[in-house]
């Protein structure tokens, strides 16, 4: 493959990704050889639009669709990858690149950590479970539900004994979800609880946390209601989905049916501010009924 053929292939890929035609390069002439084309510099410098900024729900690549208007309406109800079309018997290049970009973001969310500066900024009390690494956390879920003895002492000494409400933040399976939502969620939660004459003080941050860590915390502190905010397993739609799990006097080994959960807290689902206010109402309901999970009607 000679240089011209290579440039033509690159130009073809860029046209498919950006949907903006790249003007072919003219053959070098004495008058043009000293003036590089703008299009060529964009190719050589790798300056192309960020493919992750494309709104998939608005992207429609099917040529000559029978009913494009109806198809676009369907896409507004789901973030699924509909109407992406094909090139021969394969996906279009931009579709494959977007898939790989979203998959990479999901992997980063799982294997990265919540920044220490973020934990300090929020004033959280940091503790960690018995899982000593990401690999151990992923392969030994049981270790993400319990605390070593030194961390148990930190929890006992830092948290108010027998509090009405104990708030916990756990990194879970998505550090991105915590950093994207907690900053807006907690003020809304605090304001909502204040309306009911409730409050919370110290917030624990758990490294290598599973949902069940809230049960051990309840037994250590005697809290009446424990609410843990945790990053959920990321997917190709978003890597920033957070959930709030709540339980009335949770105990280690209790059935999952005793938990109440508010899921899909992210900018494309339930916004963090709205979710914080809603969770405050659920906490009040749990305290009034002294029940949670399926027992809470």
Contacts of 197 (CB under 8 A, 6+ apart): none
- C-alpha 180/C-alpha 101 separation (Å) is 19
Q: How far is CA 255 from the centre of its chain?
A: 26
Q: Which helix (H) or strand (E) covers residue 229, if one does?
A: strand 225-231
- C-alpha 94/C-alpha 68 separation (Å) is 20
- C-alpha 85/C-alpha 156 separation (Å) is 57
C-alpha distances (whole Å) from 8 to each of 17, 97, 99, 110, 220 are 14, 19, 25, 39, 66
- C-alpha 107/C-alpha 201 separation (Å) is 33
8-state DSSP, 21: P
Q: With the C-alpha atoms ordered 289, 169, 147, 163, is the resulting torsion angle positive or negative?
A: negative
- C-alpha 276/C-alpha 243 separation (Å) is 11
232 is annotated as contributing to ligand binding = yes
69 is annotated as contributing to ligand binding = no
Strands annotated E in 71-162: 125-128
Query: Residues marked as binding?
Result: 211, 232
Query: Residues marked as binding for adenosylcob(III)alamin?
Result: 211, 232
């Amino acid at each position: 493959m000679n240089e011209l053929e290579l440039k033509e292939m690159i130009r073809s890929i860029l046209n498919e990704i950006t949907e903006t035609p790249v003007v072919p390069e003219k053959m070098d002439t004495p008058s043009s050889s000293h003036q590089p084309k703008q299009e060529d510099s964009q190719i050589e410098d790798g300056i192309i639009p960020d493919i992750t900024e494309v709104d998939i729900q608005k992207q429609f690549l099917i040529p000559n669709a029978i009913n494009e208007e109806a198809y676009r309406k369907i896409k507004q109800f789901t973030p699924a990858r509909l109407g992406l079309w094909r090139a021969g018997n394969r996906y279009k290049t931009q579709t494959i690149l977007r898939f790989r970009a979203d998959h990479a973001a999901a992997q980063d969310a799982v294997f990265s950590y919540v920044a220490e500066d973020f934990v300090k900024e929020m004033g959280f009390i940091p503790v960690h479970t018995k899982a000593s690494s990401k690999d151990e956390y992923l392969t030994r879920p049981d270790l993400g539900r319990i605390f070593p003895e030194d961390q148990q002492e930190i929890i006992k000494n830092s948290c108010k004994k027998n509090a009405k409400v104990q708030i916990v933040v756990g990194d879970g399976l998505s550090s991105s979800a915590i950093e994207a939502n907690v900053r807006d969620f907690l003020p809304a939660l605090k304001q909502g609880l204040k309306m009911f004459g409730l409050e919370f003080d110290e917030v624990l941050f758990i490294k290598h946390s599973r949902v069940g860590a809230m049960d051990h915390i309840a037994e250590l502190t005697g809290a009446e209601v424990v609410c843990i905010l945790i990053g959920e397993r990321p997917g190709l739609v978003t890597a920033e989905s957070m959930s709030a799990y709540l339980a009335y006097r949770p105990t280690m080994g209790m059935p999952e049916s005793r938990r109440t959960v508010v899921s899909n807290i992210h900018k494309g689902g339930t916004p963090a501010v709205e979710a914080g206010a809603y969770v405050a109402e659920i906490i009040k309901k749990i305290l009034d009924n002294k029940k949670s999970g399926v027992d809470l009607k």
